[in-house]
């Protein structure tokens, strides 16, 4: 069996790699290749999974649907030629008898369908929680959306119900049930996004920062937007240090695919580099960079992402997958509306619908002090968040279940 995995984004690439690794454990002889339709496929390269066509990081980061102004910049950088080359590679794969797994939004699913091959789909980008919850429609859902009846539009459901689509693996139970009611082979197997995170072994026998409020900083994974987000997050951090009489530990989790220097250079002069770690940390990264300012400690890590998520009490997050994974651990995040192309007002609002009470959206960084004070004073909120996050993000173990289904359905 030959399998080509299509994906369109850094988070989607990471999810795809999790499924591929499970496939390789079950069927070591399977021929597996990849094609990241957005970005350069860092996750695939790190996992030594071959990429079958040209790839390129575009100015929009793949988020032209969030900001149409970005489309012209992408086209000037060769988007059309790149898309044609990728499509030709996908068609060639299909003609050679290969199957396809699409991971992400509808774009890789369309490419999989156009190829003529049998395919399966992991729709990471949509959930019925955008429009409804277990109690019914959300107030912002308009009449047309209610008429369609699902967050997936009719043409998307048509693709998923096509005879060559051998299985769809939604991210949560409410979405799986909705699609199954529309005669789509949707399987509720959990959420691969939580694999390696929810089941990550994090040993906290002794917490040297037990009396600190531990806040994870998640700026995203696409440059230059991640750096812009980081600067907004640092403004929020400065407000906390100036206005709250707390000891803080900030955990800056920077994607390993990004250069670290610009993030360090963005720190203002109040942050002093410490050559040695003051207290032992349960963060397993030998290259941690450590800073101190007022009553706050900041550590920056690029290789202990899961440790940071588990160690943090809450997050200031301007990311996609990383924010959702943090909330899936039963924790709370605060997000600040950015300028995009990914993390703008529309994205932040959609993410708040998806994640419900577990996320708080701020218009500007200065609002963070009041928001954190209110949440710390409300013990019932933390119990609500613990239950809500796990419900919204689903269970771990999905990657292996998806791998088994792929082998059974496509071989």
Say what the pLDDT of residue 185 is.
94
Cβ neighbours, 10 Å, residue 1: 15
With respect to residue 133, please indicate whether it lies within any of the assigned structural domains: yes
**Residues whose CB is less than 8 angstroms from the CB of residue 367 and which lie 6 or more positions away in sequence, other chains included:** none
246 and 189, same structural domain? no
With respect to residue 96, please indicate whether it lies within any of the assigned structural domains: yes
With respect to residue 305, please indicate whether it lies within any of the assigned structural domains: yes
303 and 222, same structural domain? yes
With respect to residue 207, please indicate whether it lies within any of the assigned structural domains: no
Residues present in the chain in total: 411
Q: Of 312, 302, 308, 197, which is closest to residue 254 (Cα–Cα)?
A: 302
List b or e across 256-288, with b for residues whose CB sees 16 or more CB atoms inside 10 angstroms.
Answer: ebbebeebeeebeeebeeeeeeeeebbbebeeb
170 and 46, same structural domain? yes
Q: What is the pLDDT of residues 96-127, one digit of tens each?
A: 888 999 999 899 999 999 999 999 999 998 99
276 and 183, same structural domain? no
With respect to residue 308, please indicate whether it lies within any of the assigned structural domains: yes
pLDDT band for position 346 (50/70/90)? confident
108 and 251, same structural domain? no
Question: Structure tokens of 218?
Answer: 């998640």
CATH number of the domain within which 306 lies: 3.40.50.2000
62 and 128, same structural domain? yes
How confident is the model over 300-320, as a mean pLDDT? 93
- Domain around 130: 2-195+396-410
With respect to residue 291, please indicate whether it lies within any of the assigned structural domains: yes
Q: How many angstroms separate the CA atoms of 133 and 137, rounded?
A: 7
Q: Of 151, 138, 143, which is closest to residue 353 (Cα–Cα)?
A: 138
Q: What is the pLDDT of residues 255-302, one digit of tens each?
A: 888 899 999 999 988 899 887 766 778 888 888 899 999 889 999 999
**Distance spanning both ends of the chain, measured CA to CA:** 6
Q: What is the pLDDT of residues 378-396, one digit of tens each?
A: 889 998 999 899 888 877 8
With respect to residue 46, please indicate whether it lies within any of the assigned structural domains: yes
164 and 278, same structural domain? no
Contact (CB, 8 A) for 233 and 269? no
**Residues whose CB is less than 8 angstroms from the CB of residue 75 and which lie 6 or more positions away in sequence, other chains included:** none
338 and 222, same structural domain? yes
What's the chain's average pLDDT?
88
Beta strands in 280-356 (DSSP E): 289-293, 296-301, 314-317, 332-336
Tell me the torsion sign for CA atoms 181, 185, 190, 191: negative
pLDDT band for position 69 (50/70/90)? low
What total number of domains does the chain contain?
Answer: 2
How confident is the model over 21-34, as a mean pLDDT? 93
Say what the pLDDT of residue 252 is.
95
Question: In Å, how far from its chain's centre is CA 254?
Answer: 13
316 and 286, same structural domain? yes
Q: How many angstroms separate the CA atoms of 156 and 372, rounded?
A: 40
SS3 254: coil
169 and 223, same structural domain? no
244 and 133, same structural domain? no
With respect to residue 202, please indicate whether it lies within any of the assigned structural domains: no
282 and 334, same structural domain? yes
Say what the pLDDT of residue 307 is.
92
């Amino acid at each position: 069996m030959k399998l080509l995995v299509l994906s369109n984004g850094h988070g989607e690439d990471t999810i795809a790699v999790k499924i591929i690794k499970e496939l390789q454990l079950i069927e070591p002889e399977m021929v597996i290749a990849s094609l990241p339709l957005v970005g350069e496929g860092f996750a695939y390269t790190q996992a030594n999974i071959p990429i079958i066509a040209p790839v390129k990081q575009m100015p929009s980061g793949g988020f032209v649907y969030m900001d149409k102004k970005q489309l012209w910049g992408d086209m000037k950088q060769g988007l059309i030629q790149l898309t044609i080359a990728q499509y030709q590679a996908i068609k060639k794969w299909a003609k050679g008898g290969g199957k396809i797994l699409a991971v992400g939004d509808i774009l890789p699913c369309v490419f999989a369908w156009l190829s003529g091959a049998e395919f399966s789909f992991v729709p990471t980008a949509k959930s019925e929680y955008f429009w409804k919850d277990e109690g019914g429609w959300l107030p912002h859902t308009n009449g047309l959306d209610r008429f369609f009846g699902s967050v997936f539009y009719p043409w998307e459901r048509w693709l998923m119900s096509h005879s060559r689509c051998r299985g769809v693996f939604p991210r949560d139970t409410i979405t799986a049930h909705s699609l199954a009611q529309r005669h789509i082979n949707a399987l509720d197997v959990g959420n691969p996004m939580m694999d390696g995170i929810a089941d990550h072994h994090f040993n906290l026998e002794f917490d040297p920062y037990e009396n600190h409020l531990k806040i994870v900083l998640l700026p995203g994974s696409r440059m230059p937007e991640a750096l812009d987000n980081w600067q907004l997050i640092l403004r929020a951090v400065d407000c906390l240090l100036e206005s709250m009489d707390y000891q803080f530990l900030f955990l800056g989790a920077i994607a390993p695919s990004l250069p670290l220097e610009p993030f360090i250079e963005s720190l203002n002069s109040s942050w002093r580099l410490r050559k040695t770690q003051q207290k032992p940390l349960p963060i397993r990264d030998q290259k941690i960079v450590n800073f101190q300012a007022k009553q706050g400690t900041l550590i920056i890590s690029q290789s202990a992402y899961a440790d940071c998520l588990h160690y943090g009490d809450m997050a200031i997050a301007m990311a996609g997958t990383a924010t959702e994974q943090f909330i899936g651990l039963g924790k709370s995040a605060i997000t600040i509306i950015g300028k995009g192309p990914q993390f703008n007002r529309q994205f932040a609002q959609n993410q708040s619908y998806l994640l419900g009470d577990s996320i708080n959206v701020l218009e500007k960084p200065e609002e963070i002090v009041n928001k954190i004070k209110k949440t710390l004073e409300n013990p019932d909120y933390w119990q609500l968040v613990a239950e809500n996050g796990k419900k919204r993000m689903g269970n771990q173990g999905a990657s292996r279940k998806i791998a088994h289904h792929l082998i059974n359905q496509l071989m």
